Amino acid sequence: MAETVDPIEYEGPAGGWGSLKGIARTEIAQKAGPGALETLKEQNKPAGYMCSSCAWVKPAEPHPFEFCENGAKATLWDLTSARCRPEDVSAYTVSELADWPDHDLEMLGRLTEPMRYDAASDRYVRTSWDEAFAGIAAELQKLDPKSVTFYASGKAGLEASYLYALFARMYGHNNLPDSSNMCHETTSVGLKKVVGSPVGTCQLEDFDHCDAIFYLGQNPGTNSPRILHPLQQAVKRGCKIVVFNPLKEKGLVEFVNPQNPLQMTVGKPTQMSHLYLQVRPGGDIAALMGVCKRVLERDEAAKAAGEQRILDCAFIEQHTHGFDAFLAKLGATSWDELEQASGLTRAEMIEAGDVYASANTVIGIYGMGLTQHVHGSQSIGLLVNLLLLGGNIGRKGAGCSPIRGHSNVQGQRTVGITEKTKLAPVEKYRELFGLETPEEDGHTTVEFLQAVIEGTNKGYIGLGGNLARAVPDHGRVHPAWRQMELTVHIATKLNRTHCMPGKSSWILPCLVRAEEDIQKTGSQWVSIEDSFSHIYGSKGKRKPASGHLMSETAIICELAKATLPANPRWTWDAWRADYGVIRDLIARTFPDEFHDMSARMNQPGGFYRGNPAHERIWKTESGKAEFTDPTVLNACGVTDNPGGMHLVTLRSNDQFNTTIYGYSDRLRGLEGSRMIVMMAPSEMERLGLVEDQQIALATQYADGVNRRVEGLAVKPYDLPERTVVGYFPELNALVPLEYHDELSKTPASKGIPVGLEY
Ligand SMILES: Nc1nc2c(c(=O)[nH]1)N[C@H]1C(S)=C(S)[C@@H](COP(=O)(O)OP(=O)(O)OC[C@H]3O[C@@H](n4cnc5c(=O)[nH]c(N)nc54)[C@H](O)[C@@H]3O)O[C@H]1N2
Ligand SMILES: Nc1nc2c(c(=O)[nH]1)N[C@H]1C(S)=C(S)[C@@H](COP(=O)(O)OP(=O)(O)OC[C@H]3O[C@@H](n4cnc5c(=O)[nH]c(N)nc54)[C@H](O)[C@@H]3O)O[C@H]1N2
Ligand SMILES: [Mo]
């Protein structure tokens, strides 16, 4: 059972032959069903299906192969020829399966039929769809709706997502967290607070016109490889990329374009970054303050010399609020303090400031390195401060561009999957369905887990995901998780969360995006939204992995129909039969953004639903773009722990979140094991550690809980001091549930105070 992928030798840059050979040579490609490699040609193409990996834009004029190594892996993983039948699962008790590695569970293959947990034998057993829907509905009817949570992991299309949110509210709760609550919720709340928009302000064209890119806390080579093409084009035009990242990530150092045959033959990589600044975890607030300080110095000098100003004074005057307070804070903060908190030298911050000062147009890009911190929203605020100085939001070649995670996570929020009542289309629900939406806000992911621990959350439905594995504090969460009355999983593959059933539990197997979805009116389209707020149609053409599978949309319709009272306006059968009818509902609910949705989603490049901040309309409290006056210089919540070590948990090149494809972190040159901890050679020397020595990490958080992970092999890596790095989800037990972004409650998975034990 425990097969591992052949390690792929790799020494070259990100992309290039390594990535193409990498795909064909993987066990994943070899296990894929007939024609699966052919199917890849349809990936991210108009009239094709949209990749289920990352949320990067699908261009109007796609490349012949508009997919990357990891997008291909995601699709091939979905299209495996392996099948996980009820008898394969019933062969083991759930207690046995709970100890299997994440990789081995998913390697069983695609789920083929619904299964019900049989507590007496501690096994999942085959069941029928009718039994499952009736059984789940009976359980839901017994529970107080407020004690039930509907999670969504960010993959299901807009049609399924719209109905899922509607079902929750018809049933009677707003407990609708999604993976965003562990991911870019810091953006949804923090970016919204300062520019009035919860999503990125850039468009793809902006990358053709920017002079500099400030790139913080995101690893494109692994997590959004297709972004490397526009970055490479920008660099070739002379655009300067300034990276802030504790790790030297290969894709940001150099890149060979696998789409470019000439470059592949000659093999000369593009040097991607002009400056690579290895901040310490959470050091971005101070680092960006240092950059701003330099920009102001340069502006003063320009002013004194009668030269063109560096600041866009007219923009600051007309469009922003809070500039003077920020200026005062900068004046009162010394370079020494900034060096201390950022881990960078004054000279490095000055050099970055000079790049900014020489650029007419600047884009800011960021990912989890900013959002997953206790003061993550302040880091985003500081990046926006820097952009505002030069008027770099809302004009060509400029803007703020968070890189989203799951392929439709942004879209799920757009169409109503939100725990915040004020963001739900309450009036439209009333008008279209006669529905009175429950008034109080629902759970974020952290609040859901707190309620599970307290025993007040009794039911859980997961539309995708592997939530119990993806969340913090496993030691506290897992025992409580199994006490829930009801757990239901709409899923494609077996995972660790499924192996922690509540008292009643079902697994409902669904189609993947590349598979054909046939309903009463014929073959159906679904739709998704990318990081740039473009909406695309997606159509799968593959024969489903099993004749018993249902689509996510159909499962939600049947569950809702079985659970809710009959209502002539709640026409679940009609919605299930024709997803165009659901899109009409979406268009009627959000007419400004989604009018004529079915027609427009299939135009090349999809349709853009707009963004007020892109037009310099600021939907903030002051009606202007807000300068942030930071309350701290480092984004970590605890900075005075004994020894001062901070742990970053992140992804390898061989996983999609909790889906572990294999054990090769190719771009980092690490192979064979995920139970590792990286640290600087100088730190190893200081602590007297040698390569591959086994150590334990223990969280230093003063709440009396013992959080410890042992059996970690030390690996030397180019990192700042006081920084250790390891993999998610193996190290999630170390993240305290209460250690989260102050505004959005996004778990702070990047700056965990830890001690080393050996
Ligand atoms: N192949 C693949 N693609 C994926 C995913 C996957 O697992 N596999 N996951 C998807 C999802 S859901 C998401 S959210 C995205 C995640 O994509 P990323 O945002 O790239 O997430 P991480 O892998 O967690 O890497 C975070 C980066 O931030 C850096 N970092 C850590 N702490 C700090 C800090 O304090 N400051 C700065 N400046 N940098 C820091 C790390 O070194 C790392 O390079 O990718 C999506 N795409
Ligand atoms: N320590 C630490 N923790 C983290 C993070 C971190 O960086 N560090 N990152 C966080 C982030 S950014 C995120 S987004 C979360 C991710 O958390 P989740 O979204 O909950 O996790 P995934 O691993 O993406 O879920 C994988 C499972 O989804 C199911 N699945 C796959 N495809 C489909 C599909 O098409 N439909 C359906 N219905 N099911 C499907 C399969 O059963 C698979 O086992 O984890 C978070 N947790
Ligand atoms: Mo994510």
Q: Which residue CA neighbors atom 22 of ligand 2 most closely?
A: 465
Q: Is 53 in the pocket of ligand 1 (CB under 6 A)?
A: yes
* C-beta 533 within 6 A of ligand 1: no
Dist. CA 51–CA 72, nearest whole Å: 8
Q: Do 203 and 280 share a structural domain?
A: yes
* Domain annotation covers residue 636: no
Is 201 within a domain? yes
| Per-residue model confidence (pLDDT) at position 14 | 65
- 311 Cα: distance to centroid of ligand 3 (angstroms): 34
The answer to the question of residue 638 being in a domain is no
Of 29, 58, 78, at which residue does a domain stop? 78
Q: Determine if ligand 1 sits within 6 Å of the CB of residue 222.
A: yes
Q: Which of 410, 406, 413, 417 is nearest to 164 (CA)?
A: 417
- Pocket of ligand 2 contains residue 223 by CB under 6 Å: no
Contact 54 CB / ligand 1 (< 6 Å): yes
User: For all residues of the chain together, what is the average pLDDT?
Assistant: 94
- Burial of 214: CB neighbours in 10 Å, binned 0-12, 13-18, 19+: buried
Pocket flag, ligand 2, residue 659 (CB < 6 Å):
yes
Would the CB of 293 count as within 6 Å of ligand 2? no
What's the CATH code of the domain at 548?
3.40.50.740
**Ligand 2 mean position, distance from CA 215 (Å):** 24
Hey, which of 221-235, 263-277, 446-460 has the most confident mean pLDDT? Answer: 446-460
The response to whether residue 508 sits with its C-beta less than 6 Å from ligand 1 reads no
**Of 429, 406, 413, 411, whose CA–CA distance to 537 is shortest?**
411
Which phi-psi region, left, alpha or beta, contains residue 154 (left: φ > 0; alpha: ψ -120 to 50)? Answer: left
In this structure, the answer to whether residues 325 and 369 fall within a common structural domain is yes
- The last residue of one of the domains, among 78, 101, 131, is 78
pLDDT greater than 60 at residue 261: no
Instruction: Please enumerate in sequence order all residues whose Cβ is within 8 A of that of 507, keeping only pairs 6 or more positions apart, or say none.
Output: 111, 114, 115, 124, 489, 491, 494, 498
Using a 6 Å cutoff on CB, does residue 279 contact ligand 1? yes
160 and 40 within one domain: no
Task: Please report, for the domain that includes residue 236, its CATH number.
Answer: 3.40.228.10
pLDDT digits (tens, 9 = 90+) for 635-683: 999 999 999 999 999 999 999 999 999 999 988 999 999 999 999 999 9
**Per-residue pLDDT at 332 exceeds 90:** yes
CB 115, CB 86: distance < 8 Å: yes
**In this predicted model, what pLDDT tens digit does every residue of 122-167 receive, in sequence order?**
999 999 999 999 999 999 999 999 999 999 999 999 999 999 999 9
The Å distance, Cα 69 to ligand 1 centre, comes to 17
Domain annotation covers residue 624: no
Of 269-273, 429-433, 562-566, which gets the smallest average pLDDT? 269-273
Check if 418 has its Cβ closer than 6 Å to any atom of ligand 2.
no
For residues 404 and 531, what is the distance between their CA atoms, to the nearest angstrom?
6
Cα separation, 77 vs 173, whole angstroms? 35
- Cβ 750 under 6 angstroms from ligand 1: yes
Residue 141 pLDDT: 98
Nearest ligand, measured from the Cα of 218? 1
The pLDDT-based confidence of 30 (bands split at 50, 70, 90) is confident
Give the closest residue (by CA) to ligand 1 atom 6.
Answer: 656
Pocket test for ligand 2, best of 374, 466, 727, 737 (most atoms within 8 A of CB): 466
| Cα(218) to centroid(ligand 1), Å | 5
437 with 498, same domain: the answer is yes
Residue-wise pLDDT for 96-114, tens only, equals: 999 999 999 999 999 999 9
pLDDT at 250: 86
Q: How confident is the model at residue 27 (pLDDT cuts 50, 70, 90)?
A: confident
Residue nearest to atom 46 of ligand 1 (CA): 405
Are 272 and 370 part of one and the same domain? yes
The residue ranges of DSSP E strands in 516-630, in sequence order, are: 518-519, 522-523, 526-529, 534-538, 607-608, 625-626
**560 and 588, same domain (yes or no):** yes
655 lines ligand 2 (CB under 6 A): no
Structure tokens at 479: 């025992």
Distances (CA, A) of 708 to 695, 697, 700, 733: 11, 6, 10, 7
Residue 500 counted as domain residue? yes
Radius of gyration in angstroms for the set of CA atoms belonging to the chain, rounded to a whole number: 25
Please indicate, yes or no, whether residues 332 and 399 belong to a single structural domain of this protein: yes
Q: How far apart are the first and last CA of the chain?
A: 32
**424 has a pLDDT exceeding 50:** yes
Residues of the chain with pLDDT > 90: what percent?
86
Q: Is the CB of 491 under 6 A from ligand 2?
A: yes
Q: Write the CA distances from 698 to 479, 644, 680, 753, integer angstroms.
A: 20, 13, 19, 9
Ligand 3 centroid vs 406 CA: distance in angstroms? Answer: 6
Q: Three-class SS of residue 709?
A: strand
Boundaries of domain holding 473? 85-183+408-532+540-596
Asked if residue 313 and residue 377 are part of one domain, the reply reads yes
- Overall average pLDDT of the 481-491 stretch: 98
Q: Is residue 122 part of a domain?
A: yes
Mutate to test the pocket of ligand 2, among 73, 76, 104, 153 (most ligand atoms within 8 A of CB): 153
d(CA 472, CA 532) in angstroms, rounded, equals: 29
pLDDT, average across residues 232-244: 96
Pairwise CA distance, residues 207 & 211, whole Å: 9
Query: Which residue's alpha carbon is at the smallest distance from atom 25 of ligand 2?
Result: 465
Q: What separation in Å is there between the alpha carbon of 577 and the centre of ligand 1?
A: 39
**Residue 436 sits in the same domain as residue 566:** yes
Residues in the chain: 758
Asked if 53 and 126 sit in the same domain, the reply is no
pLDDT at 5: 30
- Residues with Cβ within 8 Å of 80's Cβ and at least 6 positions away in sequence, in order, are 28, 31, 32, 33, 109, 110
Over range 725-751, report the average pLDDT.
98
CA-651 nearest atom, ligand 2: 7
Q: How many CA atoms lie within 13 A of 61 on its CB side?
A: 2
pLDDT for residue 727: 98
Domain boundary among 38, 57, 78: 78
Tokens matching residue 319: 């469009």
Residue whose CA is closest, atom 11 of ligand 1?
A: 405
Cα of 485 vs centre of ligand 3, distance in Å, is: 28
384 within ligand 1 shell (Cβ under 6 A): no
Examine the pLDDT at 582 and tell me if it is beyond 60: yes
**Region for 238 from its dihedrals, namely left if φ exceeds 0, alpha if ψ lies in -120 to 50, beta otherwise:** left
Residue bearing the CA closest to ligand 2, atom 45: 470
155 close to ligand 2 (CB < 6 Angstrom): yes
Beta pairing partners, 538 = 526
Longest C-alpha distance within the chain, in Å? Answer: 83
Mean pLDDT confidence for 726-743: 98
Q: Is residue 388 part of a domain?
A: yes
Confidence of residue 24 (pLDDT cuts 50, 70, 90): low
Q: How far is the CA of 110 from the centre of ligand 3 (A)?
A: 23
70 within some domain: yes
Q: What are residue 203's DSSP bridge partners?
A: none
Torsions phi, psi for 377 (to 5 deg) = -65, -25
Nearest to 333 by CA among 305, 291, 282: 291
Kindly give the distance from the C-alpha atom of residue 655 to the centroid of ligand 2, in angstroms, as a whole number: 10
How many structural domains does the chain have?
Answer: 4
| Residues 262 and 319 reside in one and the same domain | yes
Ligand 2 within 6 A of 217 CB? no
Are 683 and 718 in contact by the 8 Å Cβ rule? The answer is no
Output the CA 428–ligand 1 centroid distance in Å: 36
- Same structural domain, 173 and 211: no
